[in-house]
Structure 1
């Protein structure tokens, strides 16, 4: 890539650097919250063994800006399970406190992927305790529990399928077939810690498990309401609506066709292969640029997935 900064006047490069730092700090603050700096130190600055090696596939995927696209896709896909959606609607506070949910989930992903094993175990224990209190009755009369192993596995497979799809399309260094299988196996290690039974270990197993869940999925009013909120009513200032709209379009563009009709989302293959894909490349490149500024060497912040 040509270094354009060497061809620009110093005043222009200085302003670009200031803008990059300012936007990067805003993204970090929004995603990581007020405790972001301290949490980052607990992840990157702490000594001790990690769950994953430096060259692990999970670190490549979870450290890439494509996670922003994958996270939004994961939320849409997860909402199609009526019991999982009932738990989100009743307990997650995604409408009242969407940024708090984002910050908690980003820390879970960062701690388990990049942090020391002791911190990863602590975060897993906290989530397990939180899940124990998430229970109730869905609008269709069926009881649900966030600790239900079957629901835990649905949340997991929808999540990693989305992260992998986004990384395949928009990642800076997409994985080969062996690397994609390695990513699924890495995430299975974390899933077992959360109590997920028989998580997939390969891409083929992942596809088979998602297919097995399809008869249980449906576009409930709660799921469609969540999709409207996530895609068209996000709690963002007007200045952020356009880039977020591009991000949302890229996320919808990665959903399989069978997942769109229940959520009343469009299927526009030509537009998605051209305009949406170009926009997705642009928005992820922009996020990657601002979050990789020299002043902030932490991995990019992660989007929400868990209820």
Structure 2
């Protein structure tokens, strides 16, 4: 019975996050290839991006935080198919992160080129009359910074205490993640915890919840193709609220008491996250990447 349950959960996770195909060829070779970021299993970026619960809660938090930039949200609202195909957008984002973190150098470059090509087609006028384009360096810096800030918050909250990052390791995480944003076209990317906080303080006056942002958060809270998926998403969404800065929750009109967030949301997310991690077992993607790193390149390479 437990084997059957484990298999069902693992298959559903693979379908929801990866579209049913892990595409392990992106991670297996070539032998000895260091990958785009040149990281190993002990590095902060590997640890943060490889932690399932932290990435799921951090990912939902990032979507909510990113929505507070009116121009970034206008691009999503007017060009993204997240309403008609939310799973497709989720899968695409997950693949991009796993490929650029754990994939071969060539696979990571291909993923970045594809995203840059898509960005050239995303432009228009926001409801407030301002023009926007997805390849604007300032918007790219915002999207990246909001994302990595939330990923790190998710890891620091849901990873075991003994595995959480030190202040120096948090700074290293931001440094290791920055090259991907820069290759996408971002500029002046924050590379330390202090730089991230200074950046958020500078941009804060330009952030507010538009109607599109409020609608997107409402949509996320009800997302799910099955009852079980909606339940899990709801639990992770509630937990992600606790990862947001206080001012972001206020802008989005989210009033969830501290006692609820600490005594219910976090414990529930930990239980569900550990159940999913148990069902998944060791990450096949990370295992494939480790095999690539440990392999010896051919002598004629």
Question: Shared fold by TM > 0.5?
Answer: yes
Q: 2:285 aligns to what SS in structure 1?
A: coil
Aligned match of 1:6: none
Q: 2:46 aligns with which of 49, 52, 59?
A: 59
- Counterpart-to-counterpart distance in 1, 2:181 and 2:238: 29
Which of 187, 191, 198 in structure 1 is aligned with 2:177?
A: 187
TM-superposed deviation, 1:17: 2.4
State the partner residue of 2:299: none
The answer (yes or no) to whether the contact 1:43–1:111 under 8 Å persists in 2 is: yes
| Distance (Å, rounded) in 2 between the aligned partners of 1:290 and 1:120 | 28
- Does structure 1 conserve the Cα–Cα contact (< 8 Å) formed by 2:123 and 2:134? yes
Tell me which residue corresponds to 1:99: 87
Q: Equivalent residue for 2:255?
A: 266
CA gap of 1:275–1:235, structure 2 versus 1, over 3 A, is: closer
SS at match of 1:196: coil
Report the equivalent of 1:23: 9
Q: Which runs of 4+ in 1 moved over 4 A?
A: none
Structure 1's 291 and 281: CA in aligned 2 closer, same or farther, altered over 3 A? same
Deviation string 1:25-52 (CA, Å, 9 cap, x unpaired) is 1111121115x24x22222354333132
Aligned partners of 2:111 and 2:86: how far apart in 1? Answer: 19
Distance 2:233 2:92 in 1: 20
Q: What CA deviation, in whole Å up to 9, does each residue of 1:169-210 have, x standing for no partner?
A: 012422111111111111112111111101111111111111
Q: Do residues 40 (structure 1) and 24 (structure 2) align?
A: yes
Q: Secondary structure in 2 aligned to 1:298?
A: helix
Q: Is 21-30 or 115-124 further displaced after alignment?
A: 21-30
Superposed counterparts of 1:214-229, under 5 Å: 214-229=204-219
Q: What does residue 135 of structure 1 align with?
A: 123
Q: CA RMSD in A?
A: 1.6
Distance in 2 separating the partners of 1:299 and 1:258: 36
The aligned counterpart of 2:135 is: 147
Matches within 5 A, 1:146-165: 146-165=134-153
Q: Partners in 2 of 1:52 and 1:283 — Cα distance?
A: 32
Rounded to whole Å, the distance in 1 between the matches of 2:29 and 2:260 is: 44
The answer to whether the 8 Å contact 1:43/1:110 transfers is no
Using the TM superposition, give the Cα deviation of residue 299 of structure 1 relative to its aligned residue in structure 2, in angstroms.
Answer: 4.2
Q: Does 1:49 align with 2:37?
A: no
Structure 2 alignment gaps of length 5 or more: 288-301
Equivalenced residue count is 281
- Asked whether 1:199 is paired with 2:183, we answer no
1:279 aligns with 2:279: no
| Residue equivalent to 1:304 | none
> What does residue 170 of structure 1 align with?
158
Runs (5+) with no aligned partner, structure 1: 1-14, 301-307
Structure 1 Cα separation of the partners of residues 30 and 241 of structure 2: 37
